[in-house]
Amino acid sequence: MSFSKAITGMDRSGSFRIYMGITTSAVQQAHMLHGTSPLATHLLGRALTGTGLFGLMLREPGFKVTLQFKGDGPAEQVLCTADSAGNVKGYVANPQADLPPKEDGSPDVGGALGTGILTCIRDTGTAEPYVGKVDLVSGEIAEDLTYYFLASEQQNTLVSLGVKLDENGGAAGAGGMIIQVLPDALDEAIDALEAWLPLIPSLSVLAAEMPSDATEDEIPEIMREFMRRAFSGMPEEYAVDPLDILPLDWNCDCSEERLEEVLISLGSKEISAIIEEDGEAEVTCQFCGKSYHFDKPHLEALRMKCITRKMN
């Protein structure tokens, strides 16, 4: 079985911090749940990995981030949610989206999304979540996220995300990283990083090369090795040292209570209409596909909840 895990690191001059992940099992899980086409596996896999790493960057318990990449291409949109504890989930509006590869043979992820907008919702425990919007730069996800950090959060980052497919259109390897340039970064350290980046091995290929039958005890050393190999070309004074091993994997936390809230948000009139027309409701979690059944007494209780909430 493949696994998913994250690791943080920092260069020896304290110029940049790295959040890196192997997300093979998370992307494979998404592929199985949503039946994604090869192109949609690339799209969803990149978005899941980027959102998962972004979630870890929030650090504080309970903090969450949702990224919605929405465009006029055949995939329509990809939406992912992650929290600071390393739980990530997501879906593609059209998981069957397919396009021929680009001229260089790479998957046309940008074409799948087309022209559109990246919306970021950060829930940091305050009453109002922070919402940022930027235009999609290329729809290739990593570039869009880099641009988002710069334009909306004034943060200098470098984002790299990738999926290597297996013969069934699932994930043989998936991985990514977000490098944060720190406020007092040395120019020499950033120059060294920029010189190495074009030569850095593909993270999805590197992820696929890691032993897939690893036990939980072996994973931390595999993650440190993953990071060392990715930054093996950095000069000694700016070498990257691995820091913390963090959880990062697919987890849908849907529940009957959450889907009750979805129904309540429709309003009492809409619930009355459902009761009259169907007498029951089947609500499916869009992230994991799990179905929840609501019978008539349950719907009537929710309608009452709607009405009492409005009065308060």
- Applying CB under 5 A, the residues found at the interface with Zn ion are 252, 254, 285, 287-288, 290
Q: What's the min distance (Å) between Cβ of 255 and Zn ion?
A: 8
Q: Which is nearer to Zn ion, 90 or 116 (CB)?
A: 90
Q: What is the phi/psi pair of residue 164, to 5°?
A: -105, 125
Give the torsion sign (CA, 32, 33, 34, 39).
negative
The DSSP H or E segment spanning 80 is strand 77-83
Q: What's the min distance (Å) between Cβ of 288 and Zn ion?
A: 3
**How many helices and strands (H and E) does the chain possess?**
10, 13
Q: Which is nearer to Zn ion, 119 or 286 (CB)?
A: 286
CA distances from 282 to 134, 160, 170, 296 (A): 35, 39, 29, 11
CA–CA separation, 96 and 76 (whole Å): 11
Q: What's the min distance (Å) between Cβ of 27 and Zn ion?
A: 17
Q: Which is nearer to Zn ion, 17 or 64 (CB)?
A: 64
Nearest to residue 176, comparing CAs of 309, 44, 270?
44
Q: Which is nearer to Zn ion, 73 or 95 (CB)?
A: 95
Q: Which is nearer to Zn ion, 201 or 289 (CB)?
A: 289
Q: Which is nearer to Zn ion, 23 or 87 (CB)?
A: 87
Task: State the burial class of residue 93 (Cβ atoms within 10 Å of its Cβ: 0-12, 13-18, 19+).
Answer: middle
CA–CA separation, 48 and 175 (whole Å): 10
Q: What's the min distance (Å) between Cβ of 91 and Zn ion?
A: 10
Q: What's the min distance (Å) between Cβ of 144 and Zn ion?
A: 25
Q: What's the min distance (Å) between Cβ of 81 and Zn ion?
A: 11
